[in-house]
Structure 1
Amino acid sequence: MNSSAPIGVFIAPVTPLQQNCTVVWCPATKKAAVIDPGGSVDSILAEIDRRGLTLDQIWITHGHLDHAGGAAEMKEKTGVRIEGPHPDDQFWIDGIEQQGKAYGIPEARSFKTDRWLDEGDTVTLGETTWDVLHCPGHTPGHVVFFNRDARFAQVGDVLFQGSIGRTDFPRGNLDDLLTAITTKLWPLGDDVTFVPGHGPMSTFGQERRSNPFVSDQAMAGRNPSPA
């Protein structure tokens, strides 16, 4: 991004699951945060250094191994704080090593966060401030990071281009996910660009028009839950 942009962003897909590890930074201070370091810790740190940035924090959207499995290693190598996710994902964090064995990622490890996050919290990076939204459904403790000035969100596995997060994992809930998307993400504005946990970027407006699971048309045709 150019120097006048409110934030800087680069994306580094990691793990065999091609999770979009996202590095964001404050252009004024060059302080950076890594969102969801699922793996490839050394290469991410090398790219941060190559760009002349200083790693300041690690932010976690949720406790699945492809998003959080490298957080412990990154903290050990840099000493920076880990912020997030919501405490309802503690059981997922505790199970990262077991997840790693199941998915052939033995280096994935559990971690201890320095700060749990919840709806209405903010995280500060240099001169930038990010809103935290608690968006359960894919996991119960999933959070989203939103920068209002840049009209940018990192939504983890809540929403994708043309799809939504899986809800068949333990403590997943489709109704919770749809509610989070429509009542917390959509009001932020159709112009918001987002990075999903996997796959290409999109905008909330595009998904409201065309996403077969959560477009305005799809939600209008969804039967209301019985009283």
Structure 2
Amino acid sequence: MLKHEIIPVTPFEQNCTLFWCSDTKKAAVVDPGGDIEKIKAGIAKHGLTLEKVLITHAHIDHAGATDALASHYDVLIEGPHKEDQFWIDGIDDQKQRFGSYFSYAKKFTPNRFLNQGDTVSFGNIVMEVYFCPGHTPGHIVFFHRESKLAQVGDVLFSGSIGRTDFPRGDHATLINSIRKNLFHLGDDVRFIPGHGPMSTFGKERRSNPHVSDAAVGIR
């Protein structure tokens, strides 16, 4: 069975997520943006063995502590999509914009870039990968079909959507990613966004002012 704990990190309260297999106690961390001691404490609290670090996209608040966490546990880094390589290469530039907040952040090297249709696994858990560009060009989403639970990074939020004013962001592409690649997974799918409270795809399809049926002209 899939278990999870949301661990808010960085001054942006980014929803780093600790996932684990209840049968094997093998775990994965999604988007370790910072506050690595909080993440390590969560792993220890549940008696877990970290198997890999998973990245939805390479903005610094999601990926800043990737290298530090993966090196500490000597585990693989999987994700994002290869189109986010330029954001990985720009980690140092991102650091300069935020001063001392992200002094620990450094560039990392994924062991495996991820594509639509790929899967990632830890313990007995298998999560599906969906390519959802728009917020960044290489953004991906992780979905556990049995639990009807997704980790969507900064693609979709409760009542909002990801920003598209960053380099290589695109609003129309983001809307298409959500409508065509996520909503079809089911109204009852719960999702963990990159920031803020959880929601369901059904709630957002009905009422999200940016991407609901009504917002895109479907009655």
Q: In which range does the TM-score fall when normalised by the shorter chain?
A: over 0.9
For residues 19 and 172 of structure 2, the distance between their equivalents in structure 1, rounded to whole angstroms, comes to: 31
Query: Is 1:59 paired with 2:54?
Result: yes
For residues 18 and 70 of structure 2, the distance between their equivalents in structure 1, rounded to whole angstroms, comes to: 15
For residues 193 and 44 of structure 1, the distance between their equivalents in structure 2, rounded to whole angstroms, comes to: 23
Length, aligned pairs only: 217
User: What is the deviation of 1:141?
Assistant: 0.2
For residues 65 and 83 of structure 1, the distance between their equivalents in structure 2, rounded to whole angstroms, comes to: 16
Give a deviation string over 1:81-101, Cα, whole Å, max 9, x none: 000000000000111122122
Query: Is 1:108 paired with 2:105?
Result: yes
Residue correspondence of structure 1 range 71-90 to structure 2 within 5 A = 71-90=66-85
Aligned to 1:129: 126
User: What is the deviation of 1:107?
Assistant: 1.3
Instruction: Check the 8 A contact 2:188/2:201 in 1, yes or no.
Output: yes
Residue 62 of structure 1: SS of its match in structure 2? coil
For residues 195 and 187 of structure 2, the distance between their equivalents in structure 1, rounded to whole angstroms, comes to: 20
Aligned to 2:117: 120
Aligned to 1:161: 158
Residue 216 of structure 2: SS of its match in structure 1? helix
User: What is the deviation of 1:80?
Assistant: 0.5
For residues 90 and 200 of structure 2, the distance between their equivalents in structure 1, rounded to whole angstroms, comes to: 32
Give a deviation string over 1:5-39, Cα, whole Å, max 9, x none: x3101001111111100010111111110000000
Moved over 4 A (4+): none
What letter is aligned with 1:218? A
User: What is the deviation of 1:79?
Assistant: 0.2
For residues 192 and 198 of structure 2, the distance between their equivalents in structure 1, rounded to whole angstroms, comes to: 5
TM-score computed with the length of structure 2 as normaliser: 0.97
CA RMSD of aligned residues (A): 1.1
User: What is the deviation of 1:57?
Assistant: 0.6
Aligned to 1:3: none
Alignment counterpart, residue 194 of structure 2, candidates 193, 197, 203: 197
For residues 43 and 157 of structure 1, the distance between their equivalents in structure 2, rounded to whole angstroms, comes to: 21
Task: Single out whichever of 141-150 and 103-112 deviates more from structure 2.
Answer: 103-112
Query: Is 1:150 paired with 2:147?
Result: yes
Where does the alignment leave 5 or more consecutive residues of structure 2 unmatched?
A: none
Instruction: Check the 8 A contact 1:97/1:106 in 2, yes or no.
Output: no
Instruction: Check the 8 A contact 2:7/2:38 in 1, yes or no.
Output: no
Aligned to 1:17: 12
Instruction: Check the 8 A contact 2:18/2:30 in 1, yes or no.
Output: yes
TM-score computed with the length of structure 1 as normaliser: 0.94
Residue 214 of structure 2: SS of its match in structure 1? helix
Give a deviation string over 1:57-80, Cα, whole Å, max 9, x none: 100000100000000000111101
Identical pairs, percent: 56
Query: Is 1:8 paired with 2:3?
Result: yes
Query: Is 1:91 paired with 2:89?
Result: no
Task: Single out whichever of 102-111 and 133-142 deviates more from structure 2.
Answer: 102-111
Where does the alignment leave 5 or more consecutive residues of structure 1 unmatched?
A: 1-5, 222-227
For residues 42 and 82 of structure 1, the distance between their equivalents in structure 2, rounded to whole angstroms, comes to: 18
